[in-house]
Structures are given as C-alpha cells and as structure tokens.
Amino acid sequence: MRRRMTRSTGAVSGLLIILLGVWGALIPFVGPYFNYSFGTNTTWHYTTDRLWLDILPGALAVLAGVMLLLAATRAAGILAGWLAMVAGAWFVVGPSVSLTWESGVGPIGRPLYGPTRQMLELVGYFYGLGALIVALAAFAVGRFASRPALAEEAAAAGPADRTTIAPQQTSRTPGAEEARRRRFPLPRRRERAEGGRPGSRL
C-alpha cells in the first residue's frame, strides 16, 4: 500500500531550503558586490574549495527543497528531508574538514574586513546557514513522519478495481404503508365541539 500526503506538507520548508541553497551556492561569487567576501573581494572568483564547501552543498539543498515541494508520499518527503540535513550539516562541518587539505587561513580564504564583518561572513556563509537548513529539514521530516495519510491506495491499482456502490432505495408499497400506519397509529386529535361532549353540560 502507498500512503499519499498533501503537497502542502513540506511546501514551506522546501521553498525556504531552496532559497537558502541558492544563497549558499552563489554568495561566494556575488558577495563581493557588497563587500561580503572571503579571501579576495573579486566577484565570480572560482576555486576548488568553493566548489566543495559552497556550490555542492548548495546544489544538494536546492535538490532536496524541490523534492520536498513535490513529495506526495511519506517516504519521499523523509528522504528529501534527510538530503537537506546532509547539505546543512556539510555547511557547518565543511570549514573544519577543509583543514585536512587546506593549509591556508580560513575555509575559502580569510574573512575580510573588521571583526563584526568577519563574524557575519562566517555565519552567513557556513555556520548559521547550515544550522538553519538542518532545522528546516528536521521540521519537514517531523511533519511527514507524524502527519496521518489522507488516502491509501495500492501501487498497481487500476480503474477496473474501483467499484461504485449505488445507494439503496427503499420502495414503499401501499400495503406496506398501511401496515406501518396500523403498527404505529397516530394520536387522534380531540374533537372540539361547540357544546362539548354530550352530557357534559346541564
């Protein structure tokens, strides 16, 4: 049996995860337009580190968000949620993992400008972005796991398997109507005569 869900179950979470995935994949290339960058303040500057730490997890988040939007079954929604969790988790742990192959300062270069700007760059590029994606993905998985199915249908069900039961109509014959009246007699109304019953007045 296949449990079908309403498309709105993961719609909001899926849309937000798509937007966050697009942000994560493109911010290293467009951030320098408003002085929000790592390493070099040059737009559309590509490196292998940016591929592994920004583009790939962002693309995976977008894919998971689209799957959440289109998920019509519980299994599909939960799978999409777990993919989004993986993407968000990689945004969080990726900068630390990159120390195994990167000897420079910072995951994709050193965050630029003052301490406050550097904090915002680390949060917006990696840690805060990943944590938000993980939170939305966990919320979507919880909705798909706890929400009851609206309909259940067999995977190979066809139009021939559907039968329509016509409502039963009860026919009333004059004999049956008469028997019903005799069984349940209606109370007779009292006759209201002008003089009342005979002998009631002297």
DSSP codes, 114-155: SHHHHHHHHIIIIIHHHHHHHHHHHHHHHHHHHSPPSEEE-T
**Amino acid letter, residue 98:** S
Residues 112-140 pLDDT 10s: 888 899 999 999 999 999 999 999 999 99
Residues 56-111 pLDDT 10s: 999 999 999 999 999 888 899 999 999 999 999 999 999 988 888 876 666 777 88
Domain boundaries, the chain: 2-153
CA distances in angstroms from 183 to 60, 179, 188, listed in the order given: 75, 6, 15
**pLDDT over 70, % of the chain:** 67
Coil, helix or strand at residue 38? strand
CA distance 58 to 5: 27
pTM: 0.70
